[in-house]
Amino acid sequence: MKIRVCVLFGGRSVEHEISVISGLQAYNSLDRQKYEVTAVYISKSGTMYCGERISDIGAYKDIDGLLRDSYPVAMARDGDGVKLLRLEPGLFKKPLIGYIDVVLPVVHGTNVEDGTAAGYLNMLGAAYAGCDILSSSVGMDKYATKLILRESGIPVLDCRVYTVREYDTNPMSVTASVESELSYPVIVKPVNLGSSVGISVARDKEELVSALEEAFRYSRRVLVERAISSLTEINCSVLGDYDSCETSLLERPVSTEEILSYSDKYIAGSKGSKGMASTKRVIPADISLETTRAIEELAKKAFTALGCCGVARLDFMIDNSSGSIYLNEINTIPGSLSFYLWEPKGVSYSELLDRLISLALKRRRDDSSITYTFDTNVLSNVSLQGAKGAKLGGK
Ligand SMILES: Nc1ncnc2c1ncn2[C@@H]1O[C@H](COP(=O)(O)OP(=O)(O)O)[C@@H](O)[C@H]1O
Ligand SMILES: [Mg+2]
């Protein structure tokens, strides 16, 4: 029997469109000899949809029209499995769409990639590919990522974090803190976004104020760190889980602006239809063998330290003036699932998806050997009145 796979994409995130591209790339690359595949699109307002046109990339030119032709769905637990249900069933439209063995979340950004999708799927007891709740949410928060990486001996740039409350209450104290603790140029980033949204470099106080205001439009917490003036960026994908992992080829993305922008990542050099696979890049990265090996080792160490599973992309920065390597960030569900870094290593896109699905099923098997319940039922001889004085001290 074929494995029933549900590809989940979209979501309430500024990277919504990129996720549609990544999701449909994955949908089209899954081996139909092995899998029965259903596409589930999460709209910008957070509703899940199925329908004939949901897997047609052309239909997303008119999302309102697409939603009119599609129908809202929900997932529900059923025995040991998970089923997909049509909400608002009609006379000739039964609620049950089908059963799901594995979910493949191809979502990017806040409200989905940040552990939200993993939490939803975990609650349902669904087997799903990729990082679990904790690694997803830590990976989405650039500050939390740095703390864990630093603790694990992986080099990261020092940074300061400010909240919108602090800034609104006393903007001068925030700019003064940046100026006393870091030196210009600095780079300002929303703590939990991706795709370069809300990020800018500041060379003086005036630019710092506009950079902070821009970043605070997207997040209640922003991070400020030294901007590396002479920068080489290197990305490395890692595939595996807690037991073992391996690295892809390295890439050097090429930017046309001071920082690698949204347009560099998704628009430049293409008609904007290939997602992360369209970025201008050099593969394998044109750096020394020694630096390549050092980055591969750091990438695997970071993947393990953060407790990742599936395929992630770890982005590094080399400060050309000192040769120092820093891990900048992790993408727990990378654009285009980084397939373009695996293909030149001999792992085809459909093989990469096979590996993700078997890792998901392996985690499910490993999880099933863990005890989550006790047979004794404390509730069997409890009444609220009798328990009034109980302090539930163990909790
Ligand atoms: N400390 C830094 N110094 C110089 N450039 C940086 C620094 N941090 C980020 N950048 C530039 O900004 C881009 C986006 O920053 P990044 O932290 O990767 O955020 P995102 O999650 O949006 O991709 C990077 O790809 C790089 O070009
Ligand atoms: Mg980045």
What distance in angstroms lies between residue 195's CA and the mean position of ligand 1's atoms? 9
> For the whole model, what pTM was predicted?
0.92
- Cα 227 from Cα 207, distance rounded (Å): 13
Cα distances (Å, whole numbers) of residue 67 to 40, 44, 61: 12, 11, 12
- Cα 205 from Cα 325, distance rounded (Å): 28
Query: For position 322, what pLDDT does the model report?
Result: 97
Query: For position 272, what pLDDT does the model report?
Result: 45
**Per the domain annotation, does 371 fall within a domain?**
no
- Cα 157 from Cα 81, distance rounded (Å): 44
**Per the domain annotation, does 38 fall within a domain?**
yes
Q: Are 30 and 115 found together in one domain?
A: yes
**Chosen domain end from 226, 245, 270:** 226
Q: Are 313 and 296 found together in one domain?
A: yes
Query: For position 150, what pLDDT does the model report?
Result: 98
- Cα 269 from Cα 250, distance rounded (Å): 20
Q: Which of 14, 149, 191, 196 to mutate to test the pocket of ligand 1 (most atoms within 8 A of CB)?
A: 196
**Per the domain annotation, does 119 fall within a domain?**
yes
> Quick one: which ligand is closest to 182's CA?
1
- Cα 295 from Cα 285, distance rounded (Å): 11
Question: What residues does the ion ligand 2 have nearby, CB within 5 Å?
Answer: 315
Which tokens is 7 given? 């590809």
SS3 356: helix
> Read out DSSP for 194-228?
-TTTT-EEESSHHHHHHHHHHHHTT-SEEEEEEPP
CATH of the domain at 7: 3.40.50.20
Structural domain of residue 36, as residue ranges? 3-128
Closest ligand 1 atom to Cα of 255: 27
Residue type, 185: P
**CA-nearest residue, atom 19 of ligand 1:** 196
What distance in angstroms lies between residue 328's CA and the mean position of ligand 2's atoms? 7
CATH of the domain at 300: 3.30.470.20
Q: Are 241 and 333 found together in one domain?
A: yes
Q: Are 267 and 148 found together in one domain?
A: yes
What distance in angstroms lies between residue 195's CA and the mean position of ligand 2's atoms? 6
**Per the domain annotation, does 104 fall within a domain?**
yes
Q: Are 241 and 350 found together in one domain?
A: yes
SS3 297: helix
pLDDT in tens, 296-346: 999 999 999 999 999 999 999 999 999 999 999 999 999 999 999 999 999
Q: What is the CA radius of gyration of the chain?
A: 23
Q: Are 263 and 345 found together in one domain?
A: yes
Around ligand 1, the residues with Cβ closer than 6 Å are 157, 187, 189, 193-196, 199, 225-228, 231, 233, 255, 259-260, 315, 328-329
SS3 339: helix
Buried b (16+ CB within 10 A) or exposed e, 316-329: bbbbeeeeebbbbb
**CA-nearest residue, atom 11 of ligand 1:** 259
Q: Are 194 and 80 found together in one domain?
A: no
> Read out DSSP for 366-393?
HHHTS----SS-GGGG--TTTTTT---T
- Cα 48 from Cα 74, distance rounded (Å): 7
CATH of the domain at 220: 3.30.1490.20
Q: Are 72 and 217 found together in one domain?
A: no
Q: Are 329 and 221 found together in one domain?
A: no
Query: For position 339, what pLDDT does the model report?
Result: 97
**Per the domain annotation, does 372 fall within a domain?**
no
What distance in angstroms lies between residue 40's CA and the mean position of ligand 1's atoms? 31
Closest ligand 1 atom to Cα of 198: 22
Residue 175 CA, chain-centre distance (Å), reads 31
> Quick one: which ligand is closest to 188's CA?
1
Buried b (16+ CB within 10 A) or exposed e, 87-122: eeeeeeeeeebeebbbbbbbbbbbbbbbbbbbebbe
Q: Are 104 and 165 found together in one domain?
A: no
By DSSP bridging, strand 3-10 and strand 102-106 are parallel
Q: Are 11 and 88 found together in one domain?
A: yes
**Per the domain annotation, does 388 fall within a domain?**
no
Q: Are 145 and 285 found together in one domain?
A: yes
pLDDT in tens, 233-263: 999 999 999 999 999 999 999 877 777 776 7
Query: For position 260, what pLDDT does the model report?
Result: 73
**Per the domain annotation, does 392 fall within a domain?**
no
Report helix angle 133-140 to 116-124, nearest 10. Answer: 170
- Cα 67 from Cα 43, distance rounded (Å): 8
Backbone φ and ψ of 220, nearest 5°: -80, -10
259, burial (CB in 10 Å: exposed 0-12, middle 13-18, buried 19+)? middle
Report how many domains make up the chain: 3
Query: For position 77, what pLDDT does the model report?
Result: 95
What distance in angstroms lies between residue 328's CA and the mean position of ligand 1's atoms? 7
Q: Which residues of the chain have pLDDT under 50?
A: 270-272
**Per the domain annotation, does 181 fall within a domain?**
yes
Neighbouring C-beta atoms of residue 309, cutoff 10 Å: 26
Query: For position 173, what pLDDT does the model report?
Result: 97
Query: For position 385, what pLDDT does the model report?
Result: 72
Backbone φ and ψ of 94, nearest 5°: -70, 150
What distance in angstroms lies between residue 201's CA and the mean position of ligand 1's atoms? 9
No. of H helices and E strands in the chain? 12, 17
Which tokens is 174 given? 């925030």
Kindly report the three-state secondary structure assignment for every residue of 253-288.
Answer: ECCCCCCCCHHHHHCCCCCCCCHHHHCCEECCCCCC
On whether the CB atoms of residues 298 and 245 are closer than 8 A, the answer is no
Backbone φ and ψ of 327, nearest 5°: -85, 125
Which tokens is 240 given? 């595996």
